[in-house]
């Protein structure tokens, strides 16, 4: 099979120490199915649907490494006391012939005191323009603590039987907010040059690798560009990727863009669902989203494969790790394009929320078109139970902790 064979997408493929049944990964879409921070039947059923629908590996999203790291309600807390439920999750996925990845993150400036109970952290004192939360500068001893929490969480994931972890270095959550000169004004070795702004991420990565060794694959979800003036853009994110790649601790980069702090539609493209987003807020904030939402969230037309042009830039810089293409992958022809372009894997979010079995449909009929219309009504559902509005019947199983 030639390296750029478009049809290899359905064949097994090595990703670091593991071999996936195919090259299709369910991208992290925060589930809202864990009200106590623990695995529930609803969470298992949600992910099982993607594996039964033909995906090689599903990503349990967003697992906080600590309570202060939660970004939204109903997320998993990746700590040892939750390991029994996590094992049940991975056992079920494995029995169905798939693989399981866990996204590990700390929300940092995306967190709110209402959810975590504490003031959100950022590289420097910073007012989040979407939540209006005043974030305080993380202290050096807290940086060390977060690095340890990432390593602890990675070890729990390995012990629970996960095949991969995905380090959440994107969307201006804590780690990627260090990359951003807009947020990071530090004067110590974690601020200033891009090498310094990458230091925190590198220290987390090395600590995680030392802890888990080759027990699972390590994926980094990396921001290429967040669409915010004076923040993260390709010139510097390519340097970040190079620094992280040179550690030889990364098995794959999943390349993303956008932010959860401002300009959120830069990541999603398509319709800005102000009605849905306003319902996630209370009182005056609800009206604020309706009146000023487009200004804060931004408006960007949707295009298939909209991250491809930027992701291509990483192919010449990343020498050790594999690359996962994300963003607007909807039809079989997009999977083929990703392979022809030399990407190793694809990750899909909304297309799979719309049709968990879209991969099986593509195998049966390569001309089949994905049915996601990028209405983005799934975005606000993360505050209750993440689902596509056309496919809400999969959001009904039990949310009691296992």
Query: Interface with ligand FMN includes 101 (CB under 6 A)?
Result: no
Query: Interface with ligand FMN includes 348 (CB under 6 A)?
Result: yes
Report the residue from 39, 55, 326, 339 that binds ligand FMN according to the rule CB under 6 A: 326
Longest dimension (CA), the chain: 59
Q: Which residues are marked as active site?
A: 173
Return all residues near 116 (Cβ < 8 A) that are at least 6 apart. Answer: 67, 68, 69, 70, 107
191/384 with CB nearer ligand FMN: 384
Q: Which stretch binds ligand FMN (CB under 6 A): 38-46, 177-185, 292-300, 323-331?
A: 323-331
Q: Which stretch binds ligand FMN (CB under 6 A): 81-89, 203-211, 240-248, 324-332?
A: 324-332
Query: Interface with ligand FMN includes 378 (CB under 6 A)?
Result: yes
User: Which positions from 27 to 46 touch ligand FMN by CB under 6 A, shown as an x/- string?
Assistant: xxxx----------------
Query: Interface with ligand FMN includes 115 (CB under 6 A)?
Result: no
Nearest to 162 by CA among 63, 75, 287: 63
Cβ at position 261, least distance to ligand FMN in Å: 14
Query: Interface with ligand FMN includes 379 (CB under 6 A)?
Result: yes
Cβ at position 226, least distance to ligand FMN in Å: 13
51-80 residues near ligand FMN, rule: CB under 6 A: 61-62
Q: Which stretch binds ligand FMN (CB under 6 A): 17-25, 212-220, 231-239, 327-335?
A: 327-335
Nearest to 11 by CA among 324, 323, 345, 255: 345
Query: Interface with ligand FMN includes 176 (CB under 6 A)?
Result: no
Query: Interface with ligand FMN includes 221 (CB under 6 A)?
Result: yes
Residues 353-366 as b/e (b if ≥16 CB within 10 A, e otherwise) read bbbbebbebbeeee
Q: Which stretch binds ligand FMN (CB under 6 A): 132-140, 208-216, 342-350, 393-401?
A: 342-350
Cα–Cα distance, 178 to 68 (Å, whole number): 17
Residue nearest to ligand FMN (CB): 349
Report the residue from 64, 147, 382, 395 that binds ligand FMN according to the rule CB under 6 A: 382
Query: Interface with ligand FMN includes 272 (CB under 6 A)?
Result: no
Cβ at position 393, least distance to ligand FMN in Å: 17
Query: Interface with ligand FMN includes 311 (CB under 6 A)?
Result: no
Report the residue from 49, 349, 356, 370 that binds ligand FMN according to the rule CB under 6 A: 349
| Binding positions for ligand FMN, rule: CB under 6 A | 27-30, 61-62, 103, 168, 170-171, 221, 256, 267-268, 326-329, 348-351, 378-379, 382, 386
């Amino acid at each position: 099979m030639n390296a750029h064979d478009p049809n290899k997408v359905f064949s097994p493929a090595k990703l670091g120490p593991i071999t996936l049944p195919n090259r299709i990964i369910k991208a992290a879409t925060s589930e809202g199915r864990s009200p106590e921070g623990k695995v529930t039947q609803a969470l298992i059923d949600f992910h099982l649907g993607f594996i039964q629908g033909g995906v090689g590996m599903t990503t349990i999203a967003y697992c906080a490494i600590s309570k202060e790291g939660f970004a939204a309600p109903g997320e998993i807390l990746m700590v040892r006391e939750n390991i029994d439920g996590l094992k049940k999750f991975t056992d079920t996925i494995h029995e169905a012939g798939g693989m399981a990845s866990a996204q590990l993150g700390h929300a940092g400036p995306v967190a709110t005191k209402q959810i975590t109970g504490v003031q959100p952290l950022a590289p420097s004192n910073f007012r989040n323009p979407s939540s209006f939360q005043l974030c305080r500068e993380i202290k050096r001893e807290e940086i060390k603590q977060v690095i340890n929490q990432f390593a602890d969480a990675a070890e729990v994931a390995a012990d629970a039987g996960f095949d991969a972890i995905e380090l959440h270095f994107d969307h201006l959550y804590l780690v990627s907010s260090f990359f951003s000169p807009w947020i990071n004004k530090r004067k110590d070795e974690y601020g200033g040059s891009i090498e310094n702004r990458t230091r925190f991420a590198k220290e987390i990565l090395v600590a995680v690798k030392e802890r888990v060794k080759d027990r699972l694959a390590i994926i980094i979800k990396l921001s290429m560009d967040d669409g915010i003036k004076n923040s993260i853009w390709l010139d510097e994110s390519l340097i970040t990727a190079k620094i992280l790649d040179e550690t030889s601790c990364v098995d794959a980069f999943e390349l993303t863009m956008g932010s959860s702090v401002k300009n959120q539609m830069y990541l999603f493209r398509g319709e800005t669902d102000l009605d849905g987003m306003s319902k996630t807020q209370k009182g005056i904030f609800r009206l604020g989203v309706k009146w000023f939402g487009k200004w804060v969230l931004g408006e960007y037309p949707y295009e298939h494969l909209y991250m491809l042009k930027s992701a291509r830039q990483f192919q010449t810089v990343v020498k050790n790790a594999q690359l996962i293409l994300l963003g607007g992958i909807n039809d079989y022809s997009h999977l083929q394009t990703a392979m022809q372009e030399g990407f190793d894997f694809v990750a899909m979010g909304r297309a799979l929320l719309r049709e968990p079995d879209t991969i099986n449909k593509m195998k049966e009929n390569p001309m089949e078109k994905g049915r996601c219309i990028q209405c983005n009504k799934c975005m606000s559902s993360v505050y209750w139970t993440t689902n596509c509005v056309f496919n809400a019947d999969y959001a009904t199983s039990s949310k009691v902790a296992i």
